[in-house]
Amino acid sequence: MNQTAQQVEKVIQQRYKAGFYTDIESDRMRAGLDEEVIAMISAKKDEPEWLLEWRLKAFHHWQTMVGPNWAHLNLPPIDFQKIHYYSAPKQKDRPKSLDEVDPKLLETFDKLGVPLHERARLAGVAVDAVFDSVSVGTTFQKELKEAGVIFCSFSEAVQDHPDLVREYLGSVVPYTDNYFAALNSAVFSDGSFVYIPRDTRCPMELSTYFRINARDTGQFERTLIVAEPGSHVSYLEGCTAPMRDENQLHAAVVELVALKKAQIKYSTVQNWYPGDENGKGGIYNFVTKRGDCREDDSRISWTQVETGSAITWKYPSCVLRGDRSAGEFYSVALTHNHQQADTGTKMIHLGKNTTSKVISKGISAGKSNNSYRGLVRMARRADNARNYTQCDSLLIGKTCGAHTFPYIESSNASAKIEHEATTSRIGEDQLFYCRARGLDEEDAVAMIVDGFCKEVFKELPMEFAVEAKALLEISLEGAVG
Amino acid sequence: MLKINNLHVVIGDEEILKGLDLEIGPGELHAIMGPNGSGKSTLGYALAGRDGYEVTDGSMEFEGEDLAEMEPEERAAAGLFLAFQYPVEIPGVNNAYFLRSALNAQRKARGEEEVDSMNFLKTVRASLKSLKMDEALLKRAVNEGFSGGEKKRNEIVQMAVLQPKLAVLDETDSGLDIDALKLVAEGINAQRDGKRSFLVITHYQRLLDYLTPDRVHVLSDGRIVESGGEELAERLEAEGYAFLEETSEA
Ligand SMILES: Nc1ncnc2c1ncn2[C@@H]1O[C@H](COP(=O)(O)OP(=O)(O)O)[C@@H](O)[C@H]1O
Ligand SMILES: [Mg+2]
C-alpha cells in the first residue's frame, strides 16, 4: 500500500508537464533591488520620463511598507536583494513579426500547447506570449487591428499608445495599494495591454500566456484592459514554470476598466509549478487583480482555476462604482501536497442597484491548506445592492485543511447579502459507487471533483474548460489511496 | 457463475457473515430473503468489494476467478453488478456522462473499443423508455434530487446498459409502487437470456411473482438457513420469519 502510494506520488511529480527548462541565452540584469535597477529596466524599455518617475515613487513607497502577514499562509521570508528583476531572451532587435522570433522560443510555446506560428495557432484565440520579463510576440495582430482592438505587450503599448497607458495605469490598483502591488509598480517588466473601442465586440478571445523560465528570477507583469462604453471582451491568461528546488516569485498586477455598459470577462488557468511532494520549490504567486466597473451598467466577471504555485495569495476584486453594475467571481482553487492557497475576492458596492455573485470551490488534498477569504462591502449610497456568495470546500483525505473567512461590511440598510458555505469530504460511498460501476479510483475522484466544480467550469470559454478539467485531473492524481 | 464457500465477513470487529454458502449457475435467478440486519447488503458489498468488508475466511469465486483478489472496478469489468439498496448521489456529474464513462472504463479494461455515442444514447433511451423514466433524468446529476423510486429504476437502467453477467439487486423493489415494481421486473426479465445470472435480495414475494426464481434462500444471522423453490417465498410471506427459529434449532 505504502509502496503504491509512493509510486503514485512519483507519477504525479512527472505529471507537471510544463516543468521543462528552455536553454536560451538571456540578457539578465544583476540581482538586487535599488533605484539603479529600476532605472535600468526603464531604460531597457526606452520609457518616457513620467513612467520612470512613477516607478520610483512606487519603489519609495514600497520601502516604507511591510509584507502582509494576515493571510492564512506560512510564508518564509523573501530576500528581495537575491532576485533578478529582469531577464529576457537575447535578441538583436525587437522582432518585427513572429517570423523573426527565436525558434527556440516558438518551440517552447509549442511544447506548452500554445503554438504561435501562423499554421498551428489556436483558432479564434489571439495570444500574447510572455517569456520571463518580455513579450515574445502576439498573434492575430492584423485581424484585431481591423476591428480597432489594441492587443499588444505592455512595452509596446507604452511606445505606441502612451496616452492611454498614462491615463489608466494605476487608476484601479494604485502603487500604494499593497506591498506586492507597490513592488510590481516599481519593477514590472512586461505584460499585456488591451483596448476595446466603443461599441465593439472583440472578434476573438484574447489570451496571454506567462512563462517563467530563468532561474532566480521574479516575474512582475502588468495587465491593463480598458473597455470603452458598450464594448465586450473575453480574456484568458495561462501560466507555467520549470520545476526547480528553489522558490520563485511572481507578483503581477491586473487592472480592468469597464466603462458604460461595457463587459469584461477575465479567466485564468493558473498552473505555476507547485513544488514537489515535500513542499520543496514552486512559485510564490502574489497577485493583485482588480476590476473597476467605473460607469453605469458595466459588468466584470472573474473566473479562475488555480491548481499551481507553492503559495497563492490573490483576490480578484470588483469595484462596483457605476449604478447597476455587476461583478462576478467564479473560482476553483485546488491544493495538493504542501501547497497553500489564500484566495477569494472583494466586492465593493458603491453604486445603486449593484449586484455581485461569488461562487468559490476549494479542493484540498494531501497536506495542503486552502482558504477562501472574501470581502463584501456595501457603501452608504449603494441602495438595493445585492450580493450572493456560495463557498464550498471539498476535502480529499484527512491531512488537509479548508478555511473560510468571510468579511461583510454593510453601511446601507437596503443592501442584501447572502452567504452560503459548505464543507464536505469526498465520500467513501461516492467513491465506492463509482468503482462498483467500473471506474478506477483516480477517475472516480476526478469525476466527483469535476462535478463539484461544474458551476465554475461552465463559465470558462469552451477550449479552456476542457484544459482546466484535464489540469485538475492531473493535479489530483495520487490524491487518494 | 458464482461459487461462495464458507464466507466469513467482518466489519470492524464484528463478524456479520458467518460461513455463507451459495452457488449460482449461468442463467439462474436466485432470491435471498431474510430479516433486517441479517447480512444481505453485507453480502452484496462483499461481492462488489467495498472497503472495510473484510473476508476473513472462505472464498468467493466468480467465473473461476477469486473475487477477493480483485479491485471493485475489476469485478465490475469482469461482469459483476451491484444495484445499491441506497443509490449514491454525485452532485454535478451528468447521469449520462457517468454511465458512458463507466461503460467505457469497463470496455477498456476488457480490451474492447469505446462505445460510440449514438449507439450508447440509443441503448440508454430505450431502457429509460421501457422503465417509463423521463429522458430529462439523463441530463441531471447522478441520483441528485431523484425520488426514491427514480433512484431504484436508475440502477436498473445502469444494469441494462452495462449488461453484467451477474447482477446483485439489493432491495431494488423496496419503496416502489406496484406499477414501478412491474417495470423493474420486466427490466430484469428482459435481461434474462439463459446466460446472465441474478441474485435478487428482497423482502417481498411480490417481486418474485414476476421473476420466477430458480432458488430462494433465507439468510439469517450471517448464514443461509433455508433454501428451496418459489414455494419458500410464499411460505415466508404467509408465516414471516418466525419459523426460522424452529428450522435453525431443528
Ligand atoms: N459499516 C458498518 N459497521 C458496522 N456494522 C455494520 C456496518 N454495516 C452493517 N453493519 C451491521 O451488519 C449487520 C448486517 O447489516 P446488513 O448487511 O446491512 O443487513 P441487511 O441488508 O440484511 O438488512 C447489521 O447488524 C448492521 O448493523
Ligand atoms: Mg440491506
pLDDT in tens, chain A (481 residues): 333 334 434 444 445 666 666 666 667 778 888 998 899 889 988 999 999 999 999 999 999 998 877 666 677 778 888 887 777 767 656 666 667 777 777 777 777 666 666 555 566 667 777 766 566 667 777 888 899 999 988 988 999 999 999 999 999 999 999 999 999 999 998 888 999 999 999 988 888 877 666 666 677 889 999 999 999 999 988 766 556 566 677 889 999 999 999 999 999 887 767 777 777 777 788 889 999 999 999 999 999 888 877 788 889 999 999 999 999 999 988 888 788 888 899 999 999 999 999 999 988 888 888 889 899 999 999 999 999 999 999 888 788 888 888 999 999 999 999 999 988 888 889 999 999 999 998 889 888 988 988 888 888 877 677 777 777 776 776 666 5
DSSP secondary structure string for all residues of A118-152:
TTTSPTTEEEEEEETTEEEEETTHHHHHHTT-EEE
DSSP B87: P
Q: Which residues of B touch A (CB under 8 A)?
A: 48-51, 71-73, 75-77, 81-82, 84, 87-93, 98-99, 101-103, 105-106, 109, 141-142, 158, 162
| Burial profile B8-26: b = 16 or more Cβ within 10 angstroms, e = fewer | bbbbeeebbbbebebebee
d(CA B65, CA B92): 36
User: Domain for residue B150, yes or no?
Assistant: yes
Question: B75 has which bridge partners?
Answer: none
Locate cell 466527483: which residue?
A: A448
Distance between CA A306 and CA A282 in Å, rounded? 14
Residue B113 has what pLDDT?
94
Contact B76 A436 (CB under 8 A): yes
Burial A383-402 (b: 16+ CB within 10 A, else e): bebbbbbebbbbbbbeebeb
Q: Which of A38, A288, A78, A35 is nearest to A176 (CA)?
A: A288
Do the Cβ atoms of B102 and A430 come within 8 Å?
Answer: no
Q: How far is CA B40 from the centre of its chain?
A: 11
**Complex ipTM over 0.90:** yes
- Tell me, yes or no, if the pTM score tops 0.95: no
Whether residue B41 lies inside any domain: the answer is: yes
Q: At B182, which amino acid appears?
A: K
Distance CA B131, CA A279 (A): 53
* Nine-digit cell string for B196: 446472465
Short-list A279, A254, A257, CA closest to A267: A254
Q: Please check whether residue B18 lies inside any domain of the structure.
A: yes
Q: How deeply is B35 buried, as exposed, middle or buried, from its count of CB atoms within 10 A (0-12, 13-18, 19+)?
A: middle
Q: Which residue in the set B51, B84, B89 is minimally distant from A428, CB to CB?
A: B51
Burial of A369 (0-12, 13-18, 19+ CB in 10 A): buried
Residue A80 CB neighbours (<10 A): 16
Q: Are B205 and B238 in contact (CB under 8 A)?
A: no
Nearest CA to ligand 1 atom 16: B39
Q: Which of A434, A449, A457 should one mutate to test binding to chain B, selecting the residue with the greatest count of B CBs within 10 A?
A: A434
Which residues on adjacent β-strands are paired with residue A131?
A134, A211
Spatial contact of B75 and B67, defined as CB atoms under 8 Å apart: yes
The pLDDT of residue B246 = 56
Closest to A296 (Cα-Cα) out of A274, A322, A319, A278: A322
Kindly report the CA angle at A7 between A5 and A11, in degrees rounded to 5?
Answer: 115
Q: Choose the closest CB to B88 out of A429, A453, A454.
A: A429
Q: Is residue B113 part of a domain?
A: no
- Other beta carbons less than 10 A from residue A376's beta carbon: 25
Cell numbers found for residue A165: 497607458
d(CA B174, CA B98): 24
Q: Which residue has the higher pLDDT, A369 or B68?
A: B68
Identify which of A195-209, B112-126, B152-166 has the greatest average pLDDT: B152-166
* Ligand 2 ion: nearby residues, β-carbon < 5 Å: B 40-41, 85
Q: By percentage, how much of chain B surpasses pLDDT 90?
A: 80
Assign residue B6 the CATH number of its domain.
3.40.50.300
Judged by CB atoms closer than 8 Å, whether chains meet at A438 and B158 is answered as: no
A199 in Cβ contact with A230 (< 8 Å): yes
For residue B67, the SS3 value is helix
Q: Count of domains in chain B?
A: 1
Is B43 within the bounds of a domain? yes
Coil, helix or strand for A426? Answer: coil
CB A76 within 8 A of CB A27: no
In this structure, how many other beta carbons lie within 10 angstroms of the beta carbon of residue B117? 10
Task: DSSP letter for A217, please.
Answer: B
* Cβ distance of A438 and B51 shorter than 8 Å: no
The whole-angstrom separation of Cα B211 and Cα B29 is 8
Per the domain annotation, does B234 fall within a domain? yes
Could you tell me the CA-to-CA distances from B164 to A119, A419, B105, B106, B245 in Å, in that order? Answer: 48, 45, 14, 10, 36
What is the side-by-side strand order in the sheet with A355-364?
A134-138, A125-131, A205-211, A232-240, A263-270, A299-306, A326-335, A355-364, A386-395, A416-425
> In this predicted structure, what is the pLDDT of residue A239?
61
CA gap A427, A464 in Å, rounded:
28
Integer Cα distance of A220 and A83 in angstroms: 11
Q: Enumerate residues lining ligand 1, CB below 6 A.
A: B 11-12, 14, 16, 34, 36-42
| Amino acid identity at A98 | L
* Cα–Cα distance, A431 to A414 (Å, whole number): 45
How far does the CA of residue B83 sit from the closest CA of chain A (Å)? 9
Q: Buried b vs exposed e over B107-116: b needs ≥16 C-beta within 10 Å? A: beeeeeeebe
Q: Specify if B120 maps to a domain.
A: no
- Phi, psi of B190, deg, nearest 5: -60, -25
E strand segments, B25-165 = 29-33, 53-62, 65-66, 80-83, 90-94, 141-142
Q: Which range of residues forms the domain containing residue B172?
A: 2-93+141-249
The ligand placed nearest to the CA atom of residue B53 is 1
- For the ranges A72-76, A308-312, B147-151, B234-238, the lowest mean pLDDT is seen at A72-76
State phi, psi for A47 to the nearest 5 degrees.
-80, 150
In a domain, B83, yes or no: yes
Pairing of strands A205-211, A232-240: parallel
Average pLDDT over residues B238-245: 75
Report residue A142: phi and psi, to 5°: -65, -50
Question: In this predicted model, what pLDDT tens digit does every residue of B169-190 receive, in sequence order?
Answer: 999 999 899 999 999 999 999 9
Q: Name which of A430, A443, A447 is nearest B88 (Cβ-Cβ).
A: A430
Do A404 and A376 form a contact (C-beta atoms < 8 A)? no
Cβ neighbours for A201, distance < 8 A, ≥ 6 positions apart: A231, A232
Closest CA to A346 of A311, A382, A320, A322: A320
**Dihedral sign, CA of A114, A233, A472, A317?**
positive
Q: CA-to-CA distance for A277 and A266, rounded, in angstroms?
A: 31
A–B: how many Cβ contacts below 8 A?
79
Task: Compute, in degrees rounded to 10, the torsion defined by CA atoms B189, B190, B196, B202.
Answer: -30
Ligand 1 center to residue B17 CA distance, Å? 10
- d(CA A64, CA A170) in angstroms, rounded, equals 19
* HSE-up of residue A187 (Cα within 13 Å, Cβ side): 30
Q: What are phi and psi of A285, to 5 degrees?
A: -110, 100
Helix or strand holding residue A205 (H, E): strand A205-211
CA dist., res. B206 & res. B202, Å (int) = 9
Question: Is A116 in contact with A196 (CB distance < 8 Å)?
Answer: no
